[in-house]
């Protein structure tokens, strides 16, 4: 069984089969992307999304960001975390480098928005991110990345430059067909509201933030 924070690694035969359900060109402030929706069920209300540069070359070492959903940061600009700023920078870098952002629907490191808000309440009482999740009986990091490998494989990508500070994301590719040839850092300077959170990511989760 994985320990707290360990990624769920899937052998090639068990990589999640997220099926391509729809796609369209989406103009954004960062540039135009081909947005592709993936889901096991065609009626899934929250499919995973790939934002693909129209000129992405699948035979190159593609710049890729795996970004887990963060409603508070990505949508509402919460300063309790660095997620929204990471997404902003990722979209800019992927647009410039003709890469891909994969938006994974695993809110709050896999605990969902309701539990995330409960964890925030505990953090306001003095718990750190790890302690709050454990107090609620939840995994510290329940995310998995097998579906991302399935999406990359569907896009014809075999080698990537992975845009991340998280060693678990790099390790998750140890089992599977996609090769990480390089890690690209994405450092967001802390603000007062995010300082404790980023310190926990650095010290308690081993993220590369220096």
**How many domains does the chain divide into?**
1
| Helix, strand or coil, per DSSP, at residue 47 | coil
Cβ neighbours of 126 (radius 10 Å): 9
CATH number at residue 94: 3.40.50.10990
Q: Domain residues for 28?
A: 12-110+142-202
Q: Is residue 141 annotated as part of the catalytic site, yes or no?
A: yes
104 marked among binding-site residues: no
User: Token pair for residue 93?
Assistant: 């870098």
Within a domain: residue 28? Answer: yes
Catalytic, out of 141, 153, 174, 183: 141
Within a domain: residue 126? Answer: no
Q: Is residue 174 annotated as part of the catalytic site, yes or no?
A: no
pLDDT tens for the chain, 210 residues long, are 334 344 333 333 334 557 899 999 999 999 999 999 999 888 888 999 999 999 999 999 999 999 999 999 999 999 988 899 999 999 999 999 999 999 999 987 888 899 989 989 998 898 888 888 899 888 878 788 889 999 999 999 999 999 998 888 888 888 788 999 999 988 877 777 666 666 666 565 656 556
- C-alpha 109/C-alpha 106 separation (Å) is 6
Q: In the chain, which ranges are continuous DSSP H helix?
A: 83-97, 107-110, 112-124, 129-135, 146-154, 167-171, 195-203
User: How many secondary structure helices (H) and strands (E) does the chain include?
Assistant: 7, 7
Are the beta carbons of 32 and 38 closer than 8 angstroms?
Answer: no
- C-alpha 170/C-alpha 161 separation (Å) is 10
Catalytic, out of 143, 154, 158, 171: 143
């Amino acid at each position: 069984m994985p320990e707290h924070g360990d990624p769920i690694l899937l052998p090639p035969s068990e990589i999640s089969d997220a099926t391509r359900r729809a796609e369209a060109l989406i103009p954004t402030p960062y540039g135009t992307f081909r947005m592709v929706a993936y889901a096991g069920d065609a009626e899934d209300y929250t499919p995973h999304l790939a934002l693909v540069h129209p000129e992405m070359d699948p035979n190159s070492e593609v710049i890729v960001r795996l970004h887990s959903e963060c409603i508070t940061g990505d949508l509402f600009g919460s300063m309790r975390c660095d997620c929204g700023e990471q997404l902003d920078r990722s979209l800019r870098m992927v647009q410039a480098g003709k890469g891909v952002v994969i938006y994974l629907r695993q809110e709050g490191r896999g605990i969902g928005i309701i539990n995330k808000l409960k964890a925030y309440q505990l953090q306001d009482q003095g718990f750190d991110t790890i302690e709050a999740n454990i107090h609620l009986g939840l995994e510290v990091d329940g995310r998995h990345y097998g579906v991302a490998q399935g999406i990359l494989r569907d896009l014809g990508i075999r080698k990537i430059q992975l845009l991340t500070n998280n060693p678990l994301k790099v390790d998750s590719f140890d089992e599977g067909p996609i090769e990480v040839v390089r890690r690209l850092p994405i450092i967001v300077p802390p603000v007062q509201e995010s300082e404790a959170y980023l310190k926990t990511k650095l010290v308690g989760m081993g993220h590369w933030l220096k």
